Amino acid sequence: MKQKVKQRLSVLLGMILAVSLVLTGCGKSGGSSSNDSSGANEGSAETGKQVTVKYYNWDNEAQSVGTDAMLQEFMDQNPDIKVEHVVLVPGDSVEMMKKLDFLISSGEAIDVVQIPSLGSVLERATRGALAPLNEFYEKENIVPEDEYFVNPKIDNNYYGMQYTKSFNYVMLNKDALDEVGLEVPKFGWTWDDYREYAKKLNKGEGIDKRYGTYFHTWELYSNAPAQTMMKDPFLYDDGTTILSDPTYKYFFQLRKGMESEDKSAKPFSDVLAAKLNYRTEFFNEEAAMILTGNWTIADPGNTEQYPHDFKTAFAPVPVPPKGSEPKDYEGKYFTSGGQLVMGANSENKEASFKLMRFMTTADSDNRPEFSGYKKANNEALLTKLVAGNEDMYDMDSLKYTLFDDAIQYLDAAQVMTTASSELTKVIEDGFSRYMLNNESIDDVQKWMVDEATKVINKKGVIK
């Protein structure tokens, strides 16, 4: 009995060995091993393996809903790619960038990041933190200029893919306007008009006061005419600093006058000390007007996150009054937008590029903001963004502000700088010196020009 068992085992082992030799021979005859799981098949639906791509941004709670839904659409179409949504600092792009820079400096592998501005992309690209996109564009036969309004480029290398089209406007409490008999402004109203509106919209005293307006801490609110009606927020076309522009003297003095004389704007010192949120200031009726941008379009309808019962109206950004216009003033607005970039040390570059293209071009019902893709239907997007909440909007003023032919936009700047963070600090410091230290406007502006010129001479410009 034992001998028969041994014979059967011997036959069985022999068969297994023979099959093994045949399979090995077949594998070699093809020139490659069929058991090689590395390379092109890794992370493909064919093998059932996934790669994980991290997508970083600064979404607030409401914006995350749309982003998450778009990411899910992408994953449904690309089951071999899993996307992890990482919100670094909810609702604050400035603090988000600081946290991102820390992650980059610590060596963390970064896949895809939403960056708030062109300058911020160029600055990090020159540090070697971002991967150029040229090889991926060429592989797909994509000409970036045919696809996007703004394309960050250094030495013919592309570093960003435009995700959003951003531009500024003023949101106004329509109920407050009606209370005092003010019309919703049209294109051509000036910053002097804005000051008069703010005076009339003041209401109450003390903790119950509603200010006519609120100015946040960003450089946009230090000199709105320069930031919204010049081709580049830091440089003239000749590569010199715009901090010498007459709009700086005008707007600094306007801000101080509205705060100290009119009492129509919350004191800058209070804004700094309390670390206030600009959305909350408006929707809590702490302020009746606020200069902001089209990333806030969905907010008036989001009464769950921003409880309020008034209707929101919209107006184009005021223009500077005669005699205070920026150099080379054209009467048009600056436009840019958020960009998607790829980390230089990403381990999943092909998957990251695929995600970037989807997020920038997909015609999705879940898109949270206007697209920087030239072929996008932004009017259809507006309908989706306000759907079901139209009663919270003055729709006529919103459509006028977004789409009227009177609203024109500047061409892209021919010169740029990689020193956006340093120049932003110069603007912030100069504004603080004027508002808080009571230094003369002429002394402050001279200091700003000198400091900015040093930075530009050190960093150079991109043409």
What is the domain-level CATH number for residue 308?
A: 3.40.190.10
Q: Is the pLDDT of residue 40 over 50?
A: no
Q: Is residue 310 located within the same domain as residue 244?
A: yes
Q: Is residue 237 located within the same domain as residue 208?
A: yes
Q: Is residue 237 located within the same domain as residue 263?
A: yes
Q: Is residue 90 located within the same domain as residue 193?
A: no
Q: Is residue 319 located within the same domain as residue 399?
A: yes
Q: Is residue 311 located within the same domain as residue 429?
A: yes
d(CA 384, CA 364): 10
Is 38 inside any structural domain?
Answer: no
Is 433 inside any structural domain?
Answer: yes
Q: How many CB atoms lie within 10 A of CB 205?
A: 8
- The whole-number average pLDDT for the span 279-283 is 97
Q: What is the pLDDT of residue 44?
A: 43
Is 154 inside any structural domain?
Answer: yes
Q: Is residue 278 located within the same domain as residue 419?
A: yes
Q: Is residue 353 located within the same domain as residue 287?
A: no
Q: Is residue 191 located within the same domain as residue 136?
A: no
Which of 386, 415, 450 delimits the end of a domain?
386
Is 457 inside any structural domain?
Answer: yes
Q: What is the pLDDT of residue 38?
A: 32
Q: Is residue 312 located within the same domain as residue 350?
A: no
**Total domains in the fold of the chain:** 2
Percent of the chain whose predicted confidence (pLDDT) is above 90: 71
- The whole-number average pLDDT for the span 100-122 is 93
Report whether 124 contacts 154 (CB < 8 A). Answer: no
Is 24 inside any structural domain?
Answer: no
Report whether 148 contacts 162 (CB < 8 A). Answer: yes
**Residue 376: which residues within 8 A CB-CB, separation 6 or more?**
361, 363, 370
Is 436 inside any structural domain?
Answer: yes
Round the average pLDDT of the chain to a whole number and report it.
Answer: 88
Say what the pTM is. Answer: 0.73
Q: Is residue 358 located within the same domain as residue 402?
A: no
CB < 8 Å & 24+ apart, contacts of 180-184: 184/313, 184/314, 184/315, 184/394, 184/397
User: 352 is in which domain, residue-wise?
Assistant: 51-165+337-386
Which of 318, 351, 386 delimits the end of a domain?
386
Over residues 251-264, the pLDDT tens digits come to 999 999 999 999 99
